[in-house]
Protein backbone atom coordinates (compact mmCIF):
# COMPACT_ATOMS: atom_id res chain seq x y z
CA UNK A 1 0.00 0.00 0.00
CA UNK A 2 1.96 2.97 -1.28
CA UNK A 3 1.73 6.56 -0.08
CA UNK A 4 0.53 7.60 -3.55
CA UNK A 5 -2.49 5.32 -3.34
CA UNK A 6 -3.28 6.49 0.21
CA UNK A 7 -3.18 10.14 -0.91
CA UNK A 8 -5.32 9.42 -3.97
CA UNK A 9 -7.81 7.46 -1.87
CA UNK A 10 -8.10 10.40 0.54
CA UNK A 11 -8.65 12.75 -2.40
CA UNK A 12 -11.48 10.57 -3.71
CA UNK A 13 -12.98 10.43 -0.22
CA UNK A 14 -12.86 14.20 0.19
CA UNK A 15 -14.32 15.03 -3.21
CA UNK A 16 -16.84 12.19 -3.09
CA UNK A 17 -17.87 12.98 0.46
CA UNK A 18 -18.47 16.67 -0.31
CA UNK A 19 -20.38 15.87 -3.49
CA UNK A 20 -22.59 13.30 -1.76
CA UNK A 21 -23.23 15.62 1.19
CA UNK A 22 -24.44 18.34 -1.18
CA UNK A 23 -26.53 15.97 -3.29
CA UNK A 24 -28.20 14.34 -0.29
CA UNK A 25 -28.95 17.54 1.65
CA UNK A 26 -32.66 17.63 0.64
CA UNK A 27 -33.03 13.95 1.64
CA UNK A 28 -31.19 14.50 4.90
CA UNK A 29 -33.37 17.52 5.72
CA UNK A 30 -36.51 15.42 5.17
CA UNK A 31 -35.15 12.57 7.29
CA UNK A 32 -34.20 14.99 10.07
CA UNK A 33 -37.78 16.33 10.11
CA UNK A 34 -39.21 12.80 10.25
CA UNK A 35 -36.86 11.75 13.06
CA UNK A 36 -37.74 14.88 15.06
CA UNK A 37 -41.46 14.20 14.56
CA UNK A 38 -41.41 10.46 15.37
CA UNK A 39 -38.64 10.25 17.98
CA UNK A 40 -37.99 13.80 19.12
CA UNK A 41 -34.51 15.13 19.69
CA UNK A 42 -31.64 14.59 19.36
CA UNK A 43 -31.89 13.89 15.64
CA UNK A 44 -28.36 12.52 15.32
CA UNK A 45 -26.94 9.46 17.03
CA UNK A 46 -23.38 10.08 18.16
CA UNK A 47 -21.10 7.27 19.33
CA UNK A 48 -17.39 6.89 19.94
CA UNK A 49 -15.78 4.53 17.45
CA UNK A 50 -12.21 3.42 16.76
CA UNK A 51 -10.48 4.65 13.63
CA UNK A 52 -7.07 4.29 12.01
CA UNK A 53 -4.22 3.48 14.42
CA UNK A 54 -6.74 2.99 17.22
CA UNK A 55 -7.68 6.68 17.41
CA UNK A 56 -11.21 7.39 18.61
CA UNK A 57 -13.70 9.66 16.85
CA UNK A 58 -17.41 10.45 17.10
CA UNK A 59 -19.46 8.64 14.45
CA UNK A 60 -22.58 10.43 13.22
CA UNK A 61 -25.77 8.69 12.10
CA UNK A 62 -29.46 9.47 12.09
CA UNK A 63 -31.11 8.30 15.29
CA UNK A 64 -33.17 5.13 14.89
CA UNK A 65 -34.04 4.18 18.49
CA UNK A 66 -35.95 5.62 21.39
CA UNK A 67 -34.03 6.37 24.56
CA UNK A 68 -34.21 3.86 27.42
CA UNK A 69 -32.75 0.68 28.87
CA UNK A 70 -34.87 -1.81 26.91
CA UNK A 71 -33.21 -4.13 24.36
CA UNK A 72 -32.34 -2.54 21.02
CA UNK A 73 -35.07 -4.45 19.20
CA UNK A 74 -37.74 -2.98 21.47
CA UNK A 75 -36.44 0.60 21.13
CA UNK A 76 -36.08 0.48 17.35
CA UNK A 77 -38.95 2.50 15.88
CA UNK A 78 -40.72 1.85 12.54
CA UNK A 79 -38.97 4.95 11.18
CA UNK A 80 -35.69 3.62 12.53
CA UNK A 81 -36.23 0.25 10.88
CA UNK A 82 -36.84 1.98 7.57
CA UNK A 83 -33.68 4.07 7.93
CA UNK A 84 -31.57 1.01 8.74
CA UNK A 85 -33.16 -1.15 6.06
CA UNK A 86 -32.36 1.48 3.42
CA UNK A 87 -29.04 2.54 5.04
CA UNK A 88 -30.27 6.14 5.01
CA UNK A 89 -29.27 6.38 8.67
CA UNK A 90 -25.65 6.39 7.43
CA UNK A 91 -25.91 9.66 5.46
CA UNK A 92 -24.58 11.92 8.27
CA UNK A 93 -21.44 9.76 8.30
CA UNK A 94 -20.44 11.53 5.09
CA UNK A 95 -19.37 14.39 7.37
CA UNK A 96 -16.97 11.93 9.06
CA UNK A 97 -15.59 11.18 5.59
CA UNK A 98 -15.03 14.85 4.80
CA UNK A 99 -13.34 15.36 8.19
CA UNK A 100 -10.94 12.49 7.45
CA UNK A 101 -12.18 10.15 10.19
CA UNK A 102 -13.80 7.74 7.74
CA UNK A 103 -13.17 6.61 4.20
CA UNK A 104 -15.93 5.72 1.76
CA UNK A 105 -14.50 2.17 1.75
CA UNK A 106 -12.70 0.41 4.59
CA UNK A 107 -13.32 -1.83 7.60
CA UNK A 108 -16.38 -0.66 9.52
CA UNK A 109 -15.45 1.31 12.67
CA UNK A 110 -16.30 -0.55 15.88
CA UNK A 111 -16.58 0.31 19.55
CA UNK A 112 -13.43 1.30 21.49
CA UNK A 113 -14.28 -1.30 24.14
CA UNK A 114 -13.48 -4.03 21.61
CA UNK A 115 -9.83 -2.98 21.30
CA UNK A 116 -8.50 -5.12 24.19
CA UNK A 117 -10.39 -8.15 22.81
CA UNK A 118 -8.66 -8.30 19.41
CA UNK A 119 -5.81 -10.67 18.73
CA UNK A 120 -2.79 -9.38 16.81
CA UNK A 121 -4.27 -10.33 13.43
CA UNK A 122 -7.68 -8.81 14.10
CA UNK A 123 -6.05 -5.59 15.29
CA UNK A 124 -4.59 -5.10 11.81
CA UNK A 125 -7.98 -3.78 10.68
CA UNK A 126 -6.88 -0.48 12.24
CA UNK A 127 -3.91 -0.10 9.89
CA UNK A 128 -6.20 1.80 7.50
CA UNK A 129 -8.93 4.41 7.83
CA UNK A 130 -12.32 2.74 8.50
CA UNK A 131 -15.12 3.05 5.98
CA UNK A 132 -18.85 3.62 5.56
CA UNK A 133 -18.85 0.36 3.63
CA UNK A 134 -16.29 -2.38 3.21
CA UNK A 135 -15.47 -5.87 1.99
CA UNK A 136 -17.22 -7.50 4.96
CA UNK A 137 -20.34 -5.39 4.43
CA UNK A 138 -20.77 -6.54 0.82
CA UNK A 139 -19.95 -10.14 1.79
CA UNK A 140 -22.71 -10.62 4.35
CA UNK A 141 -22.83 -7.52 6.55
CA UNK A 142 -24.33 -8.33 9.98
CA UNK A 143 -25.01 -11.96 9.03
CA UNK A 144 -21.27 -12.75 9.19
CA UNK A 145 -19.63 -14.11 12.30
CA UNK A 146 -17.14 -11.77 13.95
CA UNK A 147 -14.31 -14.12 12.94
CA UNK A 148 -15.34 -13.94 9.29
CA UNK A 149 -15.76 -10.16 9.39
CA UNK A 150 -12.29 -9.65 10.83
CA UNK A 151 -10.80 -12.05 8.27
CA UNK A 152 -12.35 -10.00 5.47
CA UNK A 153 -11.25 -6.73 7.11
CA UNK A 154 -7.63 -7.89 7.14
CA UNK A 155 -7.97 -9.23 3.58
CA UNK A 156 -9.02 -5.72 2.54
CA UNK A 157 -6.02 -4.19 4.34
CA UNK A 158 -3.68 -6.57 2.48
CA UNK A 159 -5.22 -6.21 -0.99
CA UNK A 160 -6.84 -2.76 -1.13
CA UNK A 161 -6.74 -1.00 -4.48
CA UNK A 162 -8.71 1.53 -6.50
CA UNK A 163 -10.43 -1.23 -8.48
CA UNK A 164 -11.36 -3.07 -5.28
CA UNK A 165 -12.85 0.09 -3.78
CA UNK A 166 -14.87 0.72 -6.94
CA UNK A 167 -16.16 -2.84 -6.90
CA UNK A 168 -17.14 -2.61 -3.23
CA UNK A 169 -19.02 0.64 -3.83
CA UNK A 170 -20.95 -0.92 -6.72
CA UNK A 171 -21.75 -4.03 -4.67
CA UNK A 172 -22.85 -1.80 -1.79
CA UNK A 173 -25.44 -0.10 -3.99
CA UNK A 174 -26.80 -3.53 -4.97
CA UNK A 175 -26.86 -4.72 -1.34
CA UNK A 176 -28.69 -1.61 -0.16
CA UNK A 177 -31.17 -1.91 -3.03
CA UNK A 178 -31.90 -5.53 -2.06
CA UNK A 179 -31.76 -4.68 1.68
CA UNK A 180 -29.62 -7.71 2.47
CA UNK A 181 -27.73 -8.64 5.66
CA UNK A 182 -29.20 -5.95 7.88
CA UNK A 183 -29.54 -7.92 11.11
CA UNK A 184 -28.30 -11.14 12.65
CA UNK A 185 -30.91 -13.56 13.94
CA UNK A 186 -32.31 -12.43 17.30
CA UNK A 187 -30.72 -8.97 17.18
CA UNK A 188 -31.76 -5.54 15.93
CA UNK A 189 -28.37 -5.39 14.25
CA UNK A 190 -25.91 -8.00 15.55
CA UNK A 191 -24.55 -9.46 18.77
CA UNK A 192 -21.67 -7.78 20.61
CA UNK A 193 -18.09 -8.94 20.13
CA UNK A 194 -16.85 -10.64 23.29
CA UNK A 195 -13.54 -12.09 22.15
CA UNK A 196 -11.78 -14.45 19.78
CA UNK A 197 -14.57 -17.03 19.43
CA UNK A 198 -17.55 -14.66 19.08
Kind and range of the H or E run holding 50? strand 44-50
Q: Residue 144 above 70 pLDDT?
A: yes
Kindly report, residue by residue over 76-112, the tens digit of the pLDDT. Answer: 889 999 998 889 999 999 999 999 999 999 999 999 9
Report how far residue 188's alpha carbon sits from residue 89's, in angstroms, rounded to the nearest whole number.
Answer: 14
SS3 assignment, position 132: strand
Residue 1's pLDDT band, with cuts at 50, 70 and 90, is: low
Q: Residue 32 above 60 pLDDT?
A: yes
Report how far residue 196's alpha carbon sits from residue 139's, in angstroms, rounded to the nearest whole number.
Answer: 20
Q: Residue 140 above 70 pLDDT?
A: yes
Residue 143's pLDDT band, with cuts at 50, 70 and 90, is: confident
The whole-number pLDDT of residue 46 equals: 95
Q: What is the DSSP string of 2-52?
A: -HHHHHHHHHHHHHHHHHHHHHHHHHHHHHHHHHHHHH-S--EEEEEEE-G
Residue 152's pLDDT band, with cuts at 50, 70 and 90, is: very high
Kindly report, residue by residue over 106-130, the tens digit of the pLDDT. Answer: 999 999 999 999 999 999 999 999 9
Report how far residue 46's alpha carbon sits from residue 63's, in angstroms, rounded to the nearest whole number.
Answer: 8
Question: pTM score > 0.85 for this model?
Answer: yes
Q: What angle do CA 154, 15, 29 make, to 5 degrees?
A: 100
The whole-number pLDDT of residue 186 equals: 41
Amino acid sequence: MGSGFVAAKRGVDLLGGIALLVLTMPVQAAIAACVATTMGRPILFRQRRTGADGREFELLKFRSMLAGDAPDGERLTPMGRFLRRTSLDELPSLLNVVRGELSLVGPRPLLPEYLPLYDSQQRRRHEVRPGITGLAQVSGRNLLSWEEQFRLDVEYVDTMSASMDAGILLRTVAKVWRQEGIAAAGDATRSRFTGRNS
